[in-house]
Amino acid sequence: MNWNEIVSIFAAAMAVSFGAIGPALGEGRAVAAAMDAIARQPEAAGTIARTLFVGLAMIETMAIYCLVIALLVLFANPFIH
């Protein structure tokens, strides 16, 4: 274990943990707003659900990017090999 590997593992954990905070808050707000909209207007539930899923996928992409960065740091790190 040299310093590069220790720092890499730490960086991967930091990337995933802090990268998950923002999308989690955003998805919570989006789902709450969609629930509110469906409760007010149940006949538009289909359209709201479709738009909600697409929007959630967009928000989730940010967390997925962090995960991919963490995996790159762990498994394809250019500074270790």
Partner 1 sequence: MIRSPLVTKTLFMVGPIPISETVVVTWGLMAALALAAWFTTRSLALKASRSQTVLELIVGAIEDQIQNTIRAAPKPYVSMIGTLFLFILVANWSSLVPGIEPPTAHIETDAALGLIVFFAIVYFGIRARGLGGYLKTFAEPTIIMIPLNVVETFTRTFSLIVRLFGNIMSGVFIIGIILSLAGLLVPIPLMALDLLVGAIQAYIFTVLAMVFIGSAVSEGGAGGSTERGSP
Both tokens of 77, joined, read 């790190």
For partner 1, the binding residue among 10, 35, 53, 80 (CB under 8 A) is 53
54 in contact with partner 1 (CB under 8 A): yes
Q: Residue 62: which of 25, 10, 11, 7 has the closest Cα?
A: 25
For partner 1, the binding residue among 13, 24, 25, 64 (CB under 8 A) is 64
39 in contact with partner 1 (CB under 8 A): no
**Cβ neighbours for 31, distance < 8 A, ≥ 6 positions apart:** 52, 56
18 in contact with partner 1 (CB under 8 A): no
Binding residues for partner 1, how many (CB under 8 A)? 16
Name the DSSP letter for residue 80: T
